[in-house]
Amino acid sequence: MTGAITRRSVVGGLLAGTGAALSSRVLAQRDPPQPERASRSIEISARPITHFNRADPKAIRFGALEFRGGMVLSSPEQEFGGWSGLVMESDGSSLFAVSDAGSWLTADVTYQGNRPTGLARAQIGSLRALGGRPLDDKREQDAESVTLAEGTLARGMLLIGFERLHRIGRFPIRDREVQTPSGYLKLPAEARSMPRNQGFEALAVIRGGPLQGSLVAFAERYTRGSGYHTGWIWVRGEPQRFQLRDDDEFNITDAAALPDGGLLVLERFFRWTSGVKMRIRRLAPNEVTPGARAVGQVLIEADSSYEIDNMEGMAIHRSQAGETVVSLVSDDNFNRFLQRNVFLQFTLHGL
């Protein structure tokens, strides 16, 4: 490479072209800001992502996934960022996200045709502990996963997973405002042994089959030398273990339930020498069962030549045309110089 050293070339050299680094697991970073203690409206800017493959702007189909569009999101609000878990309303009209600094975000999603173009009516607030007590430090604030257990984003029940202080809380949502938790789920005994910064990274509620309504959770990386990631399925309130093969040392960052009782699992890989990668695996319904050792089918794997960042959140909804739409969001680690808050949408064919 020749020419002057620029911000883009520095970022490209360090992170293979994405400007994407990972979290404190691999990078030194500044501490995220402490969130304010009241919800409020915020403005969010959206810069369009018109193609997914940087080298081939005409490509829209990537195996079973078809790129619909994306956005790079930004806001002058100090607490905006770190988005690690995502829920989409069933029709895709709005979203909910949690941050690893203990914040939550709700917003309407605007579209031009089937392409997402912006976020409107955005509201940001702070998660609380039992009794409404503020989450005082990073150990309590580190929300990494969320799923909608019942209802809607206007009135429903969220399950939010935290790491460091490992727990899964029940959080009512009313008029798009997150309430104080009503309680916490019973955890598997082995969850106490999860690494401090690699806890409940993925949550989903099974949407079909005999286990419909059961919660599924994965640890980010809890293999204990077995060659398999550890997950749990709550059957009648009792967590039961199942596993997903650890292929190529990707970490699990989220999961989303499919209508047939299967799952999509979002994974991430990072090395300084190769940059960041993203992968989505599809688990068949018969692989999502207590005691199973799932392998799954790779739907897509993308490296830093694609428009990805530190992809941590994933959700599924149905479009007005009946299509299954997969949404992804990235965690910028509050590192606005090197990383981005990326929002992507794909149509999943074959369902």
pLDDT digits (tens, 9 = 90+) for 283-326: 999 999 999 999 999 999 999 999 999 999 999 999 999 999 99
Q: pLDDT per residue over 73-90, tens digit each? A: 999 999 999 999 999 999
Residues 6+ apart with CB under 8 A from 343: 46, 70, 71, 72, 73, 116, 327, 328, 329, 330
- Residue 169's nearest CA partner among 195, 197, 193, 133 is 133
Dig out the tokens for 32 from the structure: 């995220």
In a domain, 1, yes or no: no
What region, left, alpha or beta, does residue 151 occupy, with left being phi > 0 and alpha being psi -120 to 50 degrees?
Answer: left
Note down the domain range covering 246: 7-31+39-348
Q: pLDDT per residue over 152-190, tens digit each? A: 999 999 999 999 999 999 999 999 999 999 999 999 999
| Single-letter code of the amino acid located at 220 | E
In a domain, 241, yes or no: yes
- Cβ atoms of 210 and 233 within 8 Å: the answer is no
In a domain, 56, yes or no: yes
Structural domain count of the chain: 1
Integer angstrom CA distances of residue 37 from 51, 102, 104, 348: 38, 10, 11, 38
β-bridge mates for residue 65, sequence order: 62, 348
Cα separation, 272 vs 284, in Å, equals 33
pLDDT > 60? residue 2: no
Dig out the tokens for 268 from the structure: 């991430």
Cα separation, 109 vs 87, in Å, equals 12
Residue 84 Cα to chain centre, angstroms: 5
Q: pLDDT per residue over 3-26, tens digit each? A: 332 333 323 333 333 333 333 333
Q: pLDDT per residue over 106-129, tens digit each? A: 999 999 999 999 999 999 999 999
In a domain, 292, yes or no: yes
Give percent of the chain above pLDDT 90.
Answer: 86
Helix or strand (DSSP H, E) at 231: strand 228-235
pLDDT of residue 213: 97
DSSP code string of 55-115: T-TT--EETTEEEEEEEEEE-S-TT---EEEEEE-TTSSEEEEEETTSEEEEEEEEEETTE
- How many residues are given for the chain? 351
pLDDT of residue 146: 98
Average pLDDT of every residue of the chain: 90
DSSP code string of 310-325: SEEEEEEEE-TTS-EE
In a domain, 91, yes or no: yes
In a domain, 98, yes or no: yes
CATH code of 173's domain: 2.115.10
Q: What is the mean pLDDT of residues 202-214?
A: 97
In a domain, 142, yes or no: yes
pLDDT of residue 33: 52
In a domain, 2, yes or no: no
